[in-house]
A = this chain, B = another copy of it.
Amino acid sequence: MELLQVDLMDEAQKKLYGFIRQIPVRTKKVSLREGAYTRLAADIPAPEDVPLFNRSTVDGYAVIAADTYGASESIPTFLKVAEEVSMGKAAAVKLKSGQCAYVPTGGMIPEGADAMVMVEYCELLDADTVAVCQPSAVGKDIVCRGDDMKAGSVVLKAGTVLRPQEIAALAALGVGTVEVEEPFRTAIISTGDELVPVDHKPEAGQIRESNSYSIKAQAERAGMEVVSTAFYPDQEDELETGIRQAMETCDFVFLSGGSSQGKKDMTARLFDRVTDGGVCTHGLALKPGKPTILAWDETSHTVLVGLPGHPSAASIVFELLVARTLRIHRGQPYQPYVEAKTMYNIASAPGRGTCMPVILHPKESGLEAEPVLGRSGNWSILVKADGYFLLDHNQEGIKAGETVKVYLFER
Protein backbone atom coordinates (compact mmCIF):
# COMPACT_ATOMS: atom_id res chain seq x y z
CA MET A 1 0.00 0.00 0.00
CA GLU A 2 1.20 3.45 -0.90
CA LEU A 3 1.94 5.73 2.03
CA LEU A 4 0.10 9.02 1.87
CA GLN A 5 2.05 12.20 2.59
CA VAL A 6 -0.06 13.82 5.30
CA ASP A 7 1.39 17.22 6.19
CA LEU A 8 1.13 19.51 9.14
CA MET A 9 -0.06 22.98 8.18
CA ASP A 10 3.38 24.59 8.31
CA GLU A 11 4.90 21.82 6.18
CA ALA A 12 2.22 22.35 3.55
CA GLN A 13 2.67 26.15 3.77
CA LYS A 14 6.40 25.74 3.17
CA LYS A 15 5.81 23.60 0.09
CA LEU A 16 3.23 26.02 -1.25
CA TYR A 17 5.54 28.98 -0.62
CA GLY A 18 8.29 27.19 -2.52
CA PHE A 19 5.96 26.72 -5.50
CA ILE A 20 4.74 30.31 -5.42
CA ARG A 21 8.32 31.54 -5.65
CA GLN A 22 8.83 29.49 -8.79
CA ILE A 23 5.84 30.94 -10.65
CA PRO A 24 7.30 33.16 -13.38
CA VAL A 25 6.59 36.83 -12.79
CA ARG A 26 4.59 38.65 -15.47
CA THR A 27 4.66 42.40 -15.25
CA LYS A 28 2.59 45.30 -16.50
CA LYS A 29 2.79 49.08 -16.36
CA VAL A 30 0.04 50.82 -14.46
CA SER A 31 -0.65 54.41 -13.56
CA LEU A 32 0.31 55.13 -9.98
CA ARG A 33 -3.29 55.53 -8.80
CA GLU A 34 -4.11 52.04 -10.07
CA GLY A 35 -1.11 50.48 -8.38
CA ALA A 36 -2.33 50.24 -4.79
CA TYR A 37 -1.68 46.84 -3.19
CA THR A 38 0.17 45.47 -6.23
CA ARG A 39 3.77 44.21 -6.00
CA LEU A 40 6.51 46.29 -7.50
CA ALA A 41 8.33 44.51 -10.34
CA ALA A 42 11.67 46.33 -10.07
CA ASP A 43 13.67 48.47 -7.67
CA ILE A 44 12.78 52.16 -7.78
CA PRO A 45 15.67 54.56 -7.26
CA ALA A 46 14.68 58.12 -6.35
CA PRO A 47 15.06 60.23 -9.52
CA GLU A 48 15.62 63.32 -7.38
CA ASP A 49 15.82 64.55 -3.80
CA VAL A 50 12.63 64.91 -1.75
CA PRO A 51 12.28 67.66 -0.72
CA LEU A 52 14.20 69.49 -3.41
CA PHE A 53 14.99 72.37 -1.05
CA ASN A 54 15.35 73.02 2.67
CA ARG A 55 11.84 73.44 4.11
CA SER A 56 10.54 74.89 7.32
CA THR A 57 8.30 72.69 9.46
CA VAL A 58 6.92 75.68 11.40
CA ASP A 59 5.64 79.21 10.83
CA GLY A 60 8.44 81.50 11.93
CA TYR A 61 11.71 83.16 11.06
CA ALA A 62 14.65 81.57 9.31
CA VAL A 63 17.81 82.64 11.08
CA ILE A 64 21.49 81.93 11.40
CA ALA A 65 21.44 79.90 14.61
CA ALA A 66 24.61 81.51 15.98
CA ASP A 67 22.85 84.92 15.90
CA THR A 68 20.29 83.68 18.43
CA TYR A 69 22.59 82.11 21.01
CA GLY A 70 21.82 83.62 24.40
CA ALA A 71 18.53 85.20 23.29
CA SER A 72 15.85 85.30 26.00
CA GLU A 73 12.62 87.07 26.93
CA SER A 74 14.56 89.67 28.87
CA ILE A 75 17.45 90.07 26.42
CA PRO A 76 16.11 89.29 22.94
CA THR A 77 18.20 89.23 19.78
CA PHE A 78 17.13 91.85 17.26
CA LEU A 79 17.22 90.82 13.61
CA LYS A 80 16.37 92.65 10.39
CA VAL A 81 13.72 91.00 8.21
CA ALA A 82 15.43 90.61 4.84
CA GLU A 83 12.56 88.79 3.14
CA GLU A 84 9.10 87.33 3.55
CA VAL A 85 9.13 84.00 1.76
CA SER A 86 5.84 82.96 0.11
CA MET A 87 4.60 79.38 -0.09
CA GLY A 88 5.57 77.79 -3.33
CA LYS A 89 8.09 80.46 -4.20
CA ALA A 90 11.86 80.43 -4.13
CA ALA A 91 13.54 82.40 -1.36
CA ALA A 92 15.41 85.23 -3.04
CA VAL A 93 17.93 86.61 -0.58
CA LYS A 94 21.03 85.04 0.86
CA LEU A 95 20.86 85.62 4.61
CA LYS A 96 23.73 87.39 6.36
CA SER A 97 24.41 87.63 10.06
CA GLY A 98 21.90 89.96 11.71
CA GLN A 99 19.21 89.12 9.19
CA CYS A 100 16.20 86.85 9.22
CA ALA A 101 13.38 85.90 6.85
CA TYR A 102 9.76 85.01 7.56
CA VAL A 103 9.01 81.48 6.31
CA PRO A 104 5.61 79.75 6.59
CA THR A 105 5.32 76.02 7.35
CA GLY A 106 6.51 74.15 4.28
CA GLY A 107 8.13 77.24 2.81
CA MET A 108 11.66 77.45 1.45
CA ILE A 109 14.51 78.32 3.79
CA PRO A 110 16.72 81.07 2.27
CA GLU A 111 20.32 80.34 1.54
CA GLY A 112 22.54 81.16 4.50
CA ALA A 113 19.88 80.36 7.12
CA ASP A 114 20.44 77.20 9.15
CA ALA A 115 17.61 77.24 11.71
CA MET A 116 14.04 78.36 12.33
CA VAL A 117 12.55 80.19 15.30
CA MET A 118 8.81 79.64 15.76
CA VAL A 119 6.68 82.75 15.41
CA GLU A 120 5.53 82.25 19.01
CA TYR A 121 9.05 83.18 20.23
CA CYS A 122 9.38 86.26 18.04
CA GLU A 123 7.94 89.74 18.18
CA LEU A 124 7.69 91.96 15.13
CA LEU A 125 8.76 95.38 16.40
CA ASP A 126 8.35 97.32 13.17
CA ALA A 127 8.06 96.51 9.48
CA ASP A 128 11.56 95.03 9.32
CA THR A 129 12.76 94.33 12.86
CA VAL A 130 12.10 91.16 14.84
CA ALA A 131 12.93 90.48 18.47
CA VAL A 132 13.86 86.81 18.90
CA CYS A 133 13.26 85.66 22.49
CA GLN A 134 14.62 82.11 22.35
CA PRO A 135 17.85 80.64 21.02
CA SER A 136 17.63 78.20 18.13
CA ALA A 137 20.05 75.48 17.05
CA VAL A 138 21.46 74.47 13.69
CA GLY A 139 18.86 72.42 11.78
CA LYS A 140 16.02 73.16 14.19
CA ASP A 141 12.56 72.88 12.53
CA ILE A 142 14.09 72.38 9.10
CA VAL A 143 13.68 69.44 6.75
CA CYS A 144 16.80 69.47 4.62
CA ARG A 145 16.95 68.74 0.92
CA GLY A 146 16.84 64.96 0.42
CA ASP A 147 15.90 64.28 4.07
CA ASP A 148 12.84 62.28 3.05
CA MET A 149 14.30 60.53 -0.01
CA LYS A 150 17.77 60.92 -1.56
CA ALA A 151 18.32 61.04 -5.31
CA GLY A 152 19.75 57.74 -6.53
CA SER A 153 18.96 55.75 -3.41
CA VAL A 154 16.64 52.78 -3.83
CA VAL A 155 13.49 53.94 -2.08
CA LEU A 156 11.43 50.85 -2.87
CA LYS A 157 12.67 47.37 -3.69
CA ALA A 158 11.24 44.94 -6.22
CA GLY A 159 8.61 42.80 -4.56
CA THR A 160 7.42 45.60 -2.28
CA VAL A 161 3.66 45.74 -1.98
CA LEU A 162 2.54 49.30 -2.69
CA ARG A 163 0.58 50.38 0.36
CA PRO A 164 -0.99 53.86 0.42
CA GLN A 165 2.22 55.33 1.83
CA GLU A 166 4.37 53.82 -0.95
CA ILE A 167 1.95 55.13 -3.58
CA ALA A 168 2.20 58.60 -2.05
CA ALA A 169 5.99 58.43 -1.78
CA LEU A 170 6.17 57.61 -5.49
CA ALA A 171 3.84 60.54 -6.19
CA ALA A 172 6.18 62.82 -4.25
CA LEU A 173 9.05 61.52 -6.40
CA GLY A 174 7.14 62.18 -9.61
CA VAL A 175 6.88 58.50 -10.52
CA GLY A 176 3.51 58.51 -12.30
CA THR A 177 3.57 55.00 -13.68
CA VAL A 178 4.99 51.86 -12.15
CA GLU A 179 5.85 48.43 -13.39
CA VAL A 180 4.13 45.93 -11.14
CA GLU A 181 3.66 42.19 -11.00
CA GLU A 182 0.46 40.87 -12.49
CA PRO A 183 -1.71 39.03 -10.00
CA PHE A 184 -1.64 35.25 -9.97
CA ARG A 185 -4.11 33.90 -12.52
CA THR A 186 -6.43 31.47 -10.88
CA ALA A 187 -9.04 28.91 -11.91
CA ILE A 188 -11.58 27.54 -9.47
CA ILE A 189 -13.21 24.22 -10.20
CA SER A 190 -15.81 22.39 -8.16
CA THR A 191 -16.73 18.80 -8.72
CA GLY A 192 -19.70 16.68 -7.70
CA ASP A 193 -22.59 14.83 -9.31
CA GLU A 194 -24.93 16.53 -6.84
CA LEU A 195 -24.12 20.09 -7.88
CA VAL A 196 -26.47 22.45 -9.73
CA PRO A 197 -25.91 26.11 -10.60
CA VAL A 198 -27.10 28.83 -8.23
CA ASP A 199 -30.01 29.79 -10.50
CA HIS A 200 -31.37 26.23 -10.55
CA LYS A 201 -33.81 24.78 -8.09
CA PRO A 202 -32.17 21.63 -6.73
CA GLU A 203 -34.11 18.38 -6.99
CA ALA A 204 -33.99 15.79 -4.23
CA GLY A 205 -30.37 14.74 -3.76
CA GLN A 206 -28.96 17.90 -5.36
CA ILE A 207 -27.42 21.04 -3.87
CA ARG A 208 -26.31 24.31 -5.39
CA GLU A 209 -22.63 24.77 -6.10
CA SER A 210 -21.44 27.34 -3.56
CA ASN A 211 -17.76 26.59 -2.84
CA SER A 212 -16.53 28.53 -5.87
CA TYR A 213 -18.31 31.61 -4.50
CA SER A 214 -16.38 31.74 -1.26
CA ILE A 215 -13.10 30.66 -2.84
CA LYS A 216 -13.36 33.31 -5.56
CA ALA A 217 -14.06 36.05 -3.02
CA GLN A 218 -11.20 34.83 -0.82
CA ALA A 219 -8.80 34.56 -3.75
CA GLU A 220 -9.57 38.09 -4.91
CA ARG A 221 -9.17 39.46 -1.40
CA ALA A 222 -5.78 37.74 -1.32
CA GLY A 223 -4.76 39.62 -4.46
CA MET A 224 -5.35 36.91 -7.07
CA GLU A 225 -7.11 37.31 -10.39
CA VAL A 226 -9.81 34.70 -10.80
CA VAL A 227 -10.03 33.99 -14.52
CA SER A 228 -12.60 31.21 -14.40
CA THR A 229 -14.96 29.30 -12.18
CA ALA A 230 -16.54 26.07 -13.32
CA PHE A 231 -18.04 22.90 -11.99
CA TYR A 232 -18.16 19.39 -13.31
CA PRO A 233 -19.83 16.13 -12.42
CA ASP A 234 -17.45 13.51 -11.06
CA GLN A 235 -16.35 12.40 -14.54
CA GLU A 236 -12.61 11.86 -14.47
CA ASP A 237 -12.00 12.50 -18.18
CA GLU A 238 -14.13 15.63 -18.36
CA LEU A 239 -12.51 16.97 -15.22
CA GLU A 240 -9.04 16.18 -16.55
CA THR A 241 -9.76 18.19 -19.68
CA GLY A 242 -10.98 21.09 -17.54
CA ILE A 243 -7.90 21.04 -15.33
CA ARG A 244 -5.50 20.81 -18.27
CA GLN A 245 -7.19 23.75 -19.95
CA ALA A 246 -6.97 25.81 -16.77
CA MET A 247 -3.26 24.93 -16.40
CA GLU A 248 -2.51 26.44 -19.81
CA THR A 249 -3.42 29.94 -18.67
CA CYS A 250 -3.38 29.86 -14.88
CA ASP A 251 -0.82 29.88 -12.07
CA PHE A 252 -3.21 28.27 -9.60
CA VAL A 253 -5.92 25.68 -10.07
CA PHE A 254 -8.21 25.00 -7.13
CA LEU A 255 -10.26 21.84 -7.24
CA SER A 256 -12.84 21.56 -4.55
CA GLY A 257 -14.20 18.06 -4.52
CA GLY A 258 -16.43 15.94 -2.40
CA SER A 259 -14.71 14.45 0.59
CA SER A 260 -15.74 10.87 0.05
CA GLN A 261 -12.96 8.32 -0.21
CA GLY A 262 -13.62 7.72 -3.89
CA LYS A 263 -13.48 11.39 -4.80
CA LYS A 264 -10.33 12.05 -2.82
CA ASP A 265 -8.64 9.32 -4.77
CA MET A 266 -9.90 10.84 -7.98
CA THR A 267 -8.38 14.25 -7.21
CA ALA A 268 -5.02 12.71 -6.31
CA ARG A 269 -5.08 10.47 -9.39
CA LEU A 270 -5.86 13.44 -11.60
CA PHE A 271 -3.17 15.62 -10.03
CA ASP A 272 -0.63 12.82 -10.42
CA ARG A 273 -1.58 12.47 -14.06
CA VAL A 274 -1.57 16.15 -15.06
CA THR A 275 1.58 17.27 -13.19
CA ASP A 276 5.17 16.19 -13.64
CA GLY A 277 5.90 16.64 -9.94
CA GLY A 278 2.89 14.68 -8.80
CA VAL A 279 1.05 14.99 -5.51
CA CYS A 280 3.36 16.19 -2.71
CA THR A 281 0.84 16.76 0.05
CA HIS A 282 -1.87 14.14 0.32
CA GLY A 283 -3.88 15.15 3.34
CA LEU A 284 -3.52 17.90 5.90
CA ALA A 285 -3.30 17.20 9.63
CA LEU A 286 -6.02 19.75 10.28
CA LYS A 287 -9.58 19.56 11.50
CA PRO A 288 -11.40 20.44 9.33
CA GLY A 289 -9.39 20.13 6.15
CA LYS A 290 -8.02 16.62 6.05
CA PRO A 291 -8.67 15.93 2.35
CA THR A 292 -6.38 18.72 1.14
CA ILE A 293 -4.01 17.91 -1.73
CA LEU A 294 -1.08 19.86 -3.19
CA ALA A 295 0.77 19.29 -6.45
CA TRP A 296 3.16 21.28 -8.63
CA ASP A 297 3.64 21.10 -12.36
CA GLU A 298 7.16 22.18 -13.23
CA THR A 299 6.47 22.38 -16.97
CA SER A 300 3.60 24.82 -16.84
CA HIS A 301 4.55 26.29 -13.46
CA THR A 302 1.11 25.66 -12.02
CA VAL A 303 0.15 25.02 -8.43
CA LEU A 304 -2.73 22.58 -8.03
CA VAL A 305 -4.65 22.66 -4.78
CA GLY A 306 -7.31 20.10 -3.94
CA LEU A 307 -9.65 21.56 -1.33
CA PRO A 308 -12.19 19.71 0.80
CA GLY A 309 -15.70 19.48 -0.60
CA HIS A 310 -17.30 20.53 2.68
CA PRO A 311 -18.02 24.22 2.24
CA SER A 312 -16.66 25.67 5.46
CA ALA A 313 -13.71 23.26 5.42
CA ALA A 314 -12.75 24.46 1.92
CA SER A 315 -12.98 28.06 3.06
CA ILE A 316 -10.90 27.43 6.19
CA VAL A 317 -8.18 25.59 4.27
CA PHE A 318 -8.04 28.42 1.75
CA GLU A 319 -7.56 30.90 4.59
CA LEU A 320 -5.01 28.92 6.61
CA LEU A 321 -2.99 27.44 3.78
CA VAL A 322 -3.37 29.69 0.75
CA ALA A 323 -4.22 33.19 2.00
CA ARG A 324 -1.65 33.00 4.81
CA THR A 325 1.09 31.84 2.46
CA LEU A 326 0.23 34.58 -0.01
CA ARG A 327 0.48 37.13 2.81
CA ILE A 328 3.97 35.87 3.59
CA HIS A 329 4.81 36.25 -0.09
CA ARG A 330 3.50 39.84 0.11
CA GLY A 331 5.84 40.63 2.98
CA GLN A 332 3.31 40.25 5.80
CA PRO A 333 4.50 37.26 7.81
CA TYR A 334 2.77 38.32 11.04
CA GLN A 335 -0.86 37.45 11.55
CA PRO A 336 -2.59 39.89 13.88
CA TYR A 337 -5.14 38.70 16.44
CA VAL A 338 -7.22 39.69 19.40
CA GLU A 339 -7.08 37.85 22.70
CA ALA A 340 -10.22 36.29 24.14
CA LYS A 341 -11.19 33.72 26.74
CA THR A 342 -12.78 30.60 25.29
CA MET A 343 -16.24 29.89 26.73
CA TYR A 344 -16.10 26.08 26.38
CA ASN A 345 -13.58 23.31 26.77
CA ILE A 346 -12.36 22.30 23.33
CA ALA A 347 -10.74 18.91 22.85
CA SER A 348 -7.99 18.75 20.27
CA ALA A 349 -7.98 16.21 17.48
CA PRO A 350 -5.23 13.65 18.15
CA GLY A 351 -2.25 14.33 15.88
CA ARG A 352 -4.11 17.07 14.02
CA GLY A 353 -4.37 20.81 14.39
CA THR A 354 -7.84 22.23 14.97
CA CYS A 355 -9.34 25.39 13.54
CA MET A 356 -12.20 26.49 15.78
CA PRO A 357 -14.54 29.22 14.49
CA VAL A 358 -15.75 31.53 17.25
CA ILE A 359 -18.18 34.34 17.95
CA LEU A 360 -16.68 37.20 19.98
CA HIS A 361 -18.59 38.72 22.88
CA PRO A 362 -17.36 41.89 24.58
CA LYS A 363 -17.55 41.62 28.39
CA GLU A 364 -16.45 43.86 31.23
CA SER A 365 -13.33 41.76 31.70
CA GLY A 366 -12.46 41.58 28.00
CA LEU A 367 -13.48 39.51 25.02
CA GLU A 368 -15.01 36.06 25.28
CA ALA A 369 -14.85 33.58 22.40
CA GLU A 370 -17.81 31.28 21.90
CA PRO A 371 -16.83 28.27 19.78
CA VAL A 372 -19.27 27.63 16.93
CA LEU A 373 -19.90 23.92 16.94
CA GLY A 374 -21.50 22.21 13.99
CA ARG A 375 -20.85 20.41 10.74
CA SER A 376 -18.05 21.56 8.46
CA GLY A 377 -20.53 21.02 5.63
CA ASN A 378 -22.64 23.92 6.84
CA TRP A 379 -22.06 27.53 5.79
CA SER A 380 -23.89 28.80 8.86
CA ILE A 381 -20.86 28.01 11.05
CA LEU A 382 -18.66 30.50 9.26
CA VAL A 383 -21.51 32.98 8.79
CA LYS A 384 -21.91 33.15 12.57
CA ALA A 385 -18.17 33.33 13.25
CA ASP A 386 -16.17 36.52 13.77
CA GLY A 387 -12.90 34.63 13.51
CA TYR A 388 -11.19 31.47 14.68
CA PHE A 389 -8.54 30.16 16.99
CA LEU A 390 -6.08 27.37 16.35
CA LEU A 391 -5.08 24.41 18.46
CA ASP A 392 -1.73 22.91 17.62
CA HIS A 393 -1.48 19.25 16.65
CA ASN A 394 0.46 18.48 19.83
CA GLN A 395 -1.70 20.59 22.10
CA GLU A 396 -3.91 18.77 24.61
CA GLY A 397 -7.01 20.88 24.07
CA ILE A 398 -8.11 23.96 25.90
CA LYS A 399 -10.26 24.62 28.96
CA ALA A 400 -13.06 27.15 29.32
CA GLY A 401 -11.64 30.46 30.56
CA GLU A 402 -8.23 30.00 28.96
CA THR A 403 -6.98 32.77 26.70
CA VAL A 404 -6.74 32.13 22.98
CA LYS A 405 -5.57 34.21 20.03
CA VAL A 406 -8.51 34.87 17.75
CA TYR A 407 -7.74 35.66 14.10
CA LEU A 408 -10.54 37.72 12.61
CA PHE A 409 -12.41 37.25 9.36
CA GLU A 410 -12.08 40.67 7.76
CA ARG A 411 -15.24 42.65 7.07
Residues of chain A whose beta carbon lies under 8 Å from any beta carbon of chain B: 32-33, 36-37, 50-53, 55, 57, 59, 85-91, 104-108, 119, 143, 147-149, 155-156, 161, 163-176, 192-195, 198-211, 213-218, 220-221, 233-234, 258-263, 309, 311-312, 315, 327, 330-338, 360, 362, 367, 375, 377-380, 382-383, 385-386, 407-411
The reply to whether A259 and B105 contact each other, CB–CB distance below 8 Å, is yes
Contact partners of A218 in chain B: CB under 8 A: 164
Contact partners of A200 in chain B: CB under 8 A: 174
Of all chain B residues, the one with the shortest Cβ separation from A314 is B168
Contact partners of A382 in chain B: CB under 8 A: 165
The reply to whether A57 and B377 contact each other, CB–CB distance below 8 Å, is yes
In the bound assembly, the distance between CA atoms of A129 and B407 in angstroms comes to: 49
The reply to whether A261 and B106 contact each other, CB–CB distance below 8 Å, is no
The 8 A-B pairs with the shortest beta carbon distances in the complex, nearest first, are A336-B336, A90-B204, A168-B214, A165-B382, A164-B217, A88-B194, A105-B260, A87-B193
Contact partners of A143 in chain B: CB under 8 A: 375, 377-378
Question: Within the complex, which residue of B37, B148, B198 is in contact with A378, where a contact is CB–CB below 8 Å?
Answer: B148
Write the nearest CB–CB distance from A329 to chain B, whole angstroms: 10
Contact partners of A91 in chain B: CB under 8 A: 204-205
Of all chain B residues, the one with the shortest Cβ separation from A36 is B217
The reply to whether A338 and B332 contact each other, CB–CB distance below 8 Å, is no
Question: Within the complex, which residue of B167, B195, B261, B263 is in contact with A217, where a contact is CB–CB below 8 Å?
Answer: B167
Contact partners of A165 in chain B: CB under 8 A: 214, 312, 315, 379, 382-383, 385, 409
Question: Within the complex, which residue of B59, B156, B202, B260 is in contact with A261, where a contact is CB–CB below 8 Å?
Answer: B59
The reply to whether A211 and B163 contact each other, CB–CB distance below 8 Å, is no
Contact partners of A204 in chain B: CB under 8 A: 52-53, 89-91, 108
Number of copies: 2
Selected A-B contacts with CB under 8 Å, 28 pairs: A33-B216, A86-B193, A87-B205, A88-B193, A88-B195, A89-B204, A91-B204, A104-B258, A104-B262, A108-B204, A108-B205, A148-B379, A155-B383, A165-B385, A165-B409, A166-B383, A167-B214, A168-B210, A168-B315, A169-B383, A171-B209, A331-B411, A334-B338, A334-B360, A335-B338, A336-B337, A336-B338, A337-B337
Contact partners of A119 in chain B: CB under 8 A: 261
In the bound assembly, the distance between CA atoms of A338 and B156 in angstroms comes to: 25
Write the nearest CB–CB distance from A89 to chain B, whole angstroms: 5
The reply to whether B210 and A171 contact each other, CB–CB distance below 8 Å, is yes
Write the nearest CB–CB distance from A233 to chain B, whole angstroms: 8
The reply to whether A172 and B207 contact each other, CB–CB distance below 8 Å, is yes
Question: Within the complex, which residue of B87, B211, B330 is in contact with A168, where a contact is CB–CB below 8 Å?
Answer: B211
Contact partners of A233 in chain B: CB under 8 A: 88
The reply to whether A51 and B207 contact each other, CB–CB distance below 8 Å, is yes
Sample of 13 more A-B contacts, CB < 8 Å, known A85-B205, A119-B261, A168-B217: A52-B204, A55-B377, A88-B194, A88-B195, A106-B194, A108-B204, A148-B377, A148-B378, A164-B213, A164-B214, A332-B408, A335-B338, A337-B337
The reply to whether B155 and A202 contact each other, CB–CB distance below 8 Å, is no
The reply to whether A330 and B411 contact each other, CB–CB distance below 8 Å, is yes
In the bound assembly, the distance between CA atoms of A88 and B193 in angstroms comes to: 5
Write the nearest CB–CB distance from A376 to chain B, whole angstroms: 9
Contact partners of A408 in chain B: CB under 8 A: 332, 334, 336
Contact partners of A194 in chain B: CB under 8 A: 87-88, 106-107
Given contacts A176-B199, A336-B407, A411-B37, contact A90 B217 (CB under 8 A): no
In the bound assembly, the distance between CA atoms of A217 and B262 in angstroms comes to: 47
The reply to whether B88 and A409 contact each other, CB–CB distance below 8 Å, is no
Of all chain B residues, the one with the shortest Cβ separation from A216 is B33
Contact partners of A261 in chain B: CB under 8 A: 59, 119
The reply to whether A205 and B88 contact each other, CB–CB distance below 8 Å, is yes
Of all chain B residues, the one with the shortest Cβ separation from A105 is B260
The reply to whether A89 and B205 contact each other, CB–CB distance below 8 Å, is yes
Question: Within the complex, which residue of B221, B330, B331, B337 is in contact with A164, where a contact is CB–CB below 8 Å?
Answer: B221
